[in-house]
A and B are shown apart, each in its own frame.
Chain A
Amino acid sequence: MTGFILRRFLISIPLVIVASFVVFVLASLGDPLAELRMNPNVSEATIRVREAQLNLDRPIPVRYGLWISDAARGDLGRSSQTNEPVWDILKRRIPVTLRLVVAASILAALIGMAVGVVAAVRQYSKFDYGATFAAFVFFSMPVFWLAAVLKDVGIRINQAVGRRIFFTVGEATPGLDAGFIGTWMDRLGHMLLPATALILIQMAALSRFQRASMLDVINSDYIRTARAKGLSEGRVIVVHAMRNALIPVTTLLAIDFGAIIGGAIITETIFSWRGMGVLFLDAVAHRDVNVIQGWLLVTAISVIVFNLIADILYGVLDPRIRRG
């Protein structure tokens, strides 16, 4: 087992290195001085000085070397918009997005798996057809549309009732002083609608996958054996079938982590959260190269770590994988 984990871990190190290089090249595509160059009042000499400051006059591999050695020491440079260190900005923004993403993934996984299992056990029942249809509808929807619909419905309900039931703007009430529990209640309240949007879309794919995986298991020989030796149907489903049917879904969860990040960027925009998504869009729009690089690096590493965890989990759950 230790060998298996170590092997997986070693594989992801070159991945991080290559990914960081891709991050660097991608972010360097745009010219951060484009606006400066367009400005007729800025002299040629000033631009040269800025170029030298940002190391733009050196070849890309050299610049990458300088950047990555700084990044390894936790220095991601400063934002060209606010001059704040990028790492400080990220430290402030990450928790906001993380709690949305984590809450949404966990709930989506739990609900999606439950729906998938029930749909498989009661194949071709009304529940199965209903769940299948709902899943198709939700993964045929643009995330931003669903989020905007939820927001619109929330606002309409608030107006109809005459007081605020749903929070539709921001990730927390600004300047709220309500102690630990009060602060978290407020945050959860703000999270309700955005998380629902993410959950519905995430759940759709998960429930379909879980259903297929459960059907696979239910129709296998060892389940027939379990039934044949007289076990109760509940025991067959829960102990024998479900335990194995949950394994493949862990991989999907890890793969979908990237998709959830994409969804979170969009949901945050709709609900005006000051999280990673809005930060990224802002940085791209203003060609804030250091922020883009820092953002991409953090995201890439978190996706790799997530995949690593899923791989290890897969090995823990399924002995065939770690021996294979």
Chain B
Amino acid sequence: MADDTERRPATPPSEAPTATGQEVPSVERLADFDEQPHLLEELGVEARSQWRMVLGRFLGHRLAMVSLCLLVFMFLLSLAGGRFWTYGYTDRVPGAFSQPPSLSHPFGTNEIGRDGFAMVLRGAQKSLQVAMIVAVVSTLIGTIMGALAGYYRGLLDAVLMRVTDLFLIFPALVLLIVLAREFSTQGILTLALLISAFGWMSLARIVRGEFLSLREREFVEAARALGASDRRIIFRHLLPNATGPIIVNATLLVAVAVLIEAALSFLGFGVQPPDTSLGKLVADGVPAARTRWWLFYLPGLYLVVIVLCVNFVGDGLRDAFDPQQQKVRE
């Protein structure tokens, strides 16, 4: 996750093709287009905002779009599907113990006659809930830490970054095991918050890096010269320019959170019964892998497909926000 962010070229997109021999529009004319959009219309050019361009690039990313559609479908299925499915996740189907997949039970049944598909729907719902909370909370923490460190620099920066280093010393899973042992019985929200506490570090570093380079740019200097407050500079000028990496990171956090929750549930420190999650279902299926394969392989595949789709969407977003990363060799 922390990958290639450090090496991202800091060239602003505005200073791209000047060497092509075309006439460079002067500042006055650019301002004209801004104030009088009809000038552009007369030229037959549609004004394209940065967001429009990002959206356009994302829509053109085939794999990411397919993944997004599949993801939305699975999302809706796990949120609402349980209501329409024949069996509830706690129903015990009489006489249907440990049955392999069939038309009436596409994911089979377990040893006490619960329908595998109903359990997977319920599990996915809980897993996604945890993942969403983690993505939002970690993103908030990471953005705030990174923004403060990058904008104010100096002592605050040093302190915040040492704290970040400290969090990175221990493997997150190890710390989560110790903490979850004490707190995971308190429900899904607590678990999600615990995971969030260890998901913000790479984003903090990314945002700090962005802020360090953005704060030296002319438009920030201009804003400061106009008397803008720190708050205004951070929220109006710096954050909007750093949204790309933040959104990409938040997406990838969803994937990481699903995986971490699964690992914790496997070790017995994650979601506790009667709650369930995809990770817990797969974990429960591990001992049954050889005798009742459907209890292990089907929830596992469902989980892998969800995480895979999230990762593909994240990758598509990365390309859409930062086309410079996609280097094409001639």
Contacts and interface: CB of A to CB of B under 8 A. Distances in A.
B7 A248 contact: yes
B16 interface: no
A261 B304 CA distance: 22
Contact of B300 (A19, A145, A205, A296): A145
B179 A29 contact: yes
B134 interface: no
Interface in B174-211: 174-175, 177-179, 181-182
A159 B174 CA distance: 36
Tell which of A26, A142, A285 has the most Cβ of chain B within 10 Å: A142
Given A19-B169, A219-B327, A284-B177, A144 B290 contact: no
A261 B169 CA distance: 12
Contact of A156 (B168, B259, B290, B328): B290
B19 to A, nearest CB: 15
B170 interface: yes
Given A26-B175, A212-B4, A215-B327, A145 B303 contact: yes
B178 A144 contact: no
Interface in B22-62: none
Q: Size class of B's contact patch? A: 35 or more
A230 B179 CA distance: 60
Contacts of A156: 290
Given A27-B178, A281-B177, A216 B307 contact: no
Nearest to B175: A26
A255 B2 contact: yes
Contacts of A258: 168-172
A114 to B, nearest CB: 18
A140 interface: yes
Q: Size class of A's contact patch? A: 35 or more
A262 B166 contact: no
B132 interface: no
B271 interface: no
A136 interface: yes
Nearest to B167: A22
Interface string B231-273: 0000000000000000000000001000100110011110000
B169 A304 contact: yes
A252 to B, nearest CB: 8
B286 interface: yes
B294 interface: no
A54 to B, nearest CB: 18
A149 B296 CA distance: 9
B161 interface: no
A30 B181 contact: yes
A51 interface: no
A259 interface: yes
A153 to B, nearest CB: 10
Contacts of B286: 144, 148, 270
Contact of B267 (A281, A287, A296): A281
B308 to A, nearest CB: 4
Contacts, number: 140
B294 to A, nearest CB: 13
Given A30-B182, A255-B2, A262 B304 contact: no
A142 B303 contact: yes
A152 B290 contact: yes
A303 B262 contact: no
Contacts of B311: 136, 139-140
Contacts of B179: 26, 29
B218 interface: no
Given A30-B182, A152-B290, A218-B329, A143 B263 contact: yes
A272 to B, nearest CB: 12
A255 B171 CA distance: 10
B141 interface: no
B312 interface: yes
B7 A216 contact: yes
B160 interface: no
Nearest to A270: B286
Interface string A25-54: 011011000000000000000000000000
Given A27-B178, A145-B303, A265-B174, A155 B262 contact: no
B263 A142 contact: yes
Nearest to A151: B289
16 contacts: A19-B166, A139-B311, A141-B259, A141-B304, A142-B262, A148-B289, A151-B289, A152-B289, A152-B290, A215-B329, A261-B174, A262-B174, A265-B267, A285-B181, A287-B181, A296-B178
Interface of B: 2-4, 7, 165-166, 168-175, 177-179, 181-182, 255, 259, 262-263, 266-269, 279, 282-283, 286, 289-290, 293, 296-297, 300, 303-304, 307-308, 310-312, 315, 325, 327-329
Given A30-B182, A155-B290, A258-B171, 9 more contacts: A18-B166, A19-B170, A136-B308, A137-B308, A145-B300, A151-B289, A265-B267, A281-B177, A299-B174
Interface of A: 15, 18-19, 22, 26-27, 29-30, 123, 136-137, 139-145, 148-149, 151-152, 155-156, 205, 208-209, 212-213, 215-216, 218-219, 248, 252, 255, 258-259, 261-262, 265-266, 269-270, 280-281, 284-285, 287, 292, 296, 299-300, 303-304
